[in-house]
Structure 1
Amino acid sequence: MDRILLCWLISSLTEPVMAHVVDFTTSRDVWCALERIFESSSQAHVQQLKYQLHTVKISATPMSEYIQSVKSIVDNLAAVANPVTDSDLVSTLLSGLSPEYNSFVTSVNTQVDPISSEELIGLMLSQEIHRGRTLPNPESTNLISPAPAVHNASRTSRFFSAPPSSSFRGHG
């Protein structure tokens, strides 16, 4: 029985991996060797993912992309049996924000009750929407409307009727 299992194990390996186990005579020896080989690469992968999680920053990406990149790393860690706690996820999300979010981070960190990652993500997306509305539009640097002053009665009709007549054109 062990011989059949040994043949099946060896036949399922790629050539580079097979080179590491070709001298073993029992399926147990092959399995233990494979475990040692892949365990070291798995540990390296876990360390790489943890490093990515601790160094991920929002930079110039939209908030939703930043959150998705963090969630992707967290999901990959969970897939290799190294789950991230919710409080660590909250800390990671906050620490990766740029300095322009310092007041937001302070307000979250000073809350009496701990915040969940789901709540934080909702607040982060709301914060981005709020910041988008309050930041000046780079295309509209002129704060004074170039349109001529119009009496209130004609202002209402301007929205519901034909465009203003050409008599205003050319007058600076």
Structure 2
Amino acid sequence: MGYLDCTIVCPTPTITPTDSTIAAPNPAYDEWIRKDQRVISWMISFLSPDVLPYVVGSISAADVSKALQTAFGSLSYTSILQLHMQLQNTSKGDKFVLTYLREVKYISDQLAAANRPLENEELNAIVFRNLGSDFSDIVTVLATKPDPITFPELHRLLLNRELRMKSATVPIEANVTAYTPL
């Protein structure tokens, strides 16, 4: 982290020994450059091809971090408000629970990346309100829990509920043979 937030400061490229007037290469500078380049390589390895153009030309890990923060981390109030409205208006409708929750999580993650994370209670309330009447029984049960459930738990429970609902509506085909009494 010190390379990203500049708390590990880059040493000067040369040093002048006290008993000389001639500058010599600074081994600490070379070591700092090596470590900084490793951090840059590590960061870039996690970036998608769509994001890479934002960091082209960065010469230090701090530059990469600053470029990413400028491009993606500095959402305006209007952008944050838009994300909140988008989240409020995202509903399950005819979608599968998995698709609906993926959309909710994506928007929630964008808010968290903008340093505006939602509490579990807030996110649960939005999800519960926008699920639809098919899930009213599980929403009632989950809403009465003393502590809010986490998103992964909510995800698992809603997927299980959807699977149970689908299996209950699939007709069971039985291989019926004629019964003849003896």
TM-score by length of 2: 0.52
Which residue of the partner structure matches residue 178 of structure 2?
Answer: 149
Percent of aligned positions with the same letter in both sequences?
26
Question: 2:134 aligned with 1:105, yes or no?
Answer: no
Letter in 1 for 2:104: V
Which residue of the partner structure matches residue 89 of structure 1?
Answer: 123
1:1-172 map, 5 Å: 42-137=76-171, 148-149=177-178
Which residue of the partner structure matches residue 22 of structure 2?
Answer: none
Task: Find the aligned partners of 2:156 and 2:137 in 1 and give their Cα distance.
Answer: 17
The Cα shift of 1:115 comes to: 2.2
- Runs (4+) of structure 1 moved beyond 6 Å? none
Letter in 2 for 1:149: A
Letter in 1 for 2:96: P
C-alpha contact (below 8 Å) 1:87/1:117 kept by paired residues: no
Task: Find the aligned partners of 2:177 and 2:155 in 1 and give their Cα distance.
Answer: 45
The Cα shift of 1:51 comes to: 0.3
Letter in 1 for 2:156: G
Structure (1/2) with the larger helix percentage: 1
The Cα shift of 1:150 comes to: 7.0
Query: Runs of 5+ in structure 2 lacking a partner?
Result: 1-69
The Cα shift of 1:79 comes to: 1.7
Task: Find the aligned partners of 1:122 and 1:102 in 2 and give their Cα distance.
Answer: 16
TM-score by length of 1: 0.55
C-alpha contact (below 8 Å) 1:67/1:121 kept by paired residues: yes
Query: Runs of 5+ in structure 1 lacking a partner?
Result: 1-34, 152-172
Q: What is the Cα-based RMSD across aligned positions, in Å?
A: 2.6
Aligned positions, number? 108
The Cα shift of 1:148 comes to: 4.4
